[in-house]
Amino acid sequence: MKKRILITGGAGFLGSHLCDRFINEGYEVIAMDNLITGDLRNIEHLFPLKEFTYYNHDITKFIHIPGKLDYILHFASPASPIDYLKIPIQTLKVGAMGTHNCLGLAKAKGATMLIASTSEVYGDPLVHPQTEEYWGNVNPIGPRGVYDEAKRYMESITMAYHTYHNVDIRIVRIFNTYGPRMRLNDGRALPAFFGQALRGEDIVLFGDGSQTRSFCYVDDLIEGIYRLLLSGYTLPVNIGNPSEISLRDLSEEILDLTGHTGKITYKPLPKDDPKQRQPDITKARTLLNWEPKVSREEGLQRTYEYFRSLPPEEWVKSPK
Ligand code: NAD
């Protein structure tokens, strides 16, 4: 009998890649989404498959899934600052009530639940690179607090269900990930640079561009999540690419790749913007025998091809 897996946020960037992966691994996949930031086009190729079901549902409301369930991958949540600053209450609700509903379902079905946590639980880190033991430096009432604290609460309630109700859990702390099906206008630096290059605009850097990020290609991330799910390990694991780059250098790589001749302009740094981010992936390496395989050159190339393949009107404005 096929394993059944529920993927919340299944129509989003990462959720849709997870749907593909688990279909390819021979699972029966149920995707659940309310499309607040997702897009059905990410999963429409799966609709004809009898192993795939889609439910349009807001997971902050009670979740009913008939039949058995072996796994829940909880990925529903606005993820980019532009989204969670626009919908802060929904962001807190999906992290709190959405996670609670998923955990109730996991408990009722005896399912293993994996939650999509984030490097944002480390806030503006005072420890570099960040190991899973670092507790973070988050401003709870700052503009990013709605996301960071929702995710910290999510980890907390998930651990409580593990400790008090014996629910089998996995916690992945995802660092910046990129690849096809990101939205060009989701406000994150990497798609923003591509969008500006495609539209022939100047590249806009916040601050002096010396802040660093570590970008993981989506296929590498999905492999790490797959391994973690099957690992039996219940404490948090960082999954990300430790190769760090300043946003100024990244913008130059994207200018080279796209052949765009625009110049770089500078704007003030947003409040609480982290200055550096780099995962320590020792745990993932030793526990999961995982490390990223796709070089930035290759990953940026594949991402550029995806963005270029979108209808040009979406270069100007994404549907969401
Ligand atoms: P995304 O916005 O593309 O996907 C999130 C999906 O969740 C969307 O399809 C959205 O419609 C859905 N959703 C939101 N609220 C919902 C609700 N109440 N009910 C049902 N569906 C709802 O974002 P993403 O980049 O794919 O991120 C997916 C998950 O991974 C998020 O939990 C995010 O916090 C986490 N994450 C992502 C990154 C990254 O680099 N992309 C980094 C760290 C963590």
Write down the H helix ranges in the chain: 13-24, 81-86, 88-93, 99-109, 145-165, 189-199, 218-229, 247-258, 282-288, 296-309, 312-316
Q: Which domains does the chain have, with CATH numbers?
A: 4-178+216-239 (3.40.50.720)
The pLDDT tens digits for 207-241 are: 999 988 899 999 999 999 999 999 999 999 999 99
Residue of minimum CA distance from atom 29 in ligand 1: 75
| Dihedral sign for Cα atoms in the order 119, 281, 178, 266 | positive
List pLDDT tens digits, range 245-262: 999 999 999 999 999 888
Q: Sorting pLDDT into bands at 50, 70 and 90, what band is 277?
A: confident
- Tell whether ipTM is more than 0.95: yes
CA 239 to chain centre: 11
Strands 71-74 and 4-8: parallel
Q: Which of 12, 59, 8 is nearest to 29 (CA)?
A: 8
Catalytic residue ranges = 147
Verify whether ligand 1 is closer than 6 Å to residue 177 (CB atom).
yes
Q: How far apart are CA 320 and CA 310, in angstroms?
A: 14
- Asked if 174 contacts 151 with a C-beta cutoff of 8 angstroms, the reply is no
Whether the CB of 58 sits within 6 Å of ligand 1 = yes
Closest C-alpha to 200, from 247, 251, 261: 261
Q: Is the pLDDT of residue 272 over 70?
A: no
Q: What distance in angstroms lies between residue 116's CA and the mean position of ligand 1's atoms?
A: 8
Residue 125: pLDDT over 90: no
Does the beta carbon of 176 lie inside 6 Å of ligand 1?
yes
* CA 10 to centroid of ligand 1, rounded, Å: 8
In the chain, the percentage of residues whose pLDDT exceeds 70 is 98
Give residues with Cβ within 8 angstroms of 123, minimum separation 6: 136, 137, 138, 139, 144, 148, 272, 274
How close is the Cα of 182 to the center of ligand 1, in Å?
A: 11
Closest ligand 1 atom, CA of 117? Answer: 44
Q: Of all atoms in ligand 1, which is nearest to the CA of residue 37?
A: 11
Give the residue whose CA is nearest to atom 34 of ligand 1: 79
Q: What is the 291 CA–ligand 1 centroid distance (Å)?
A: 23
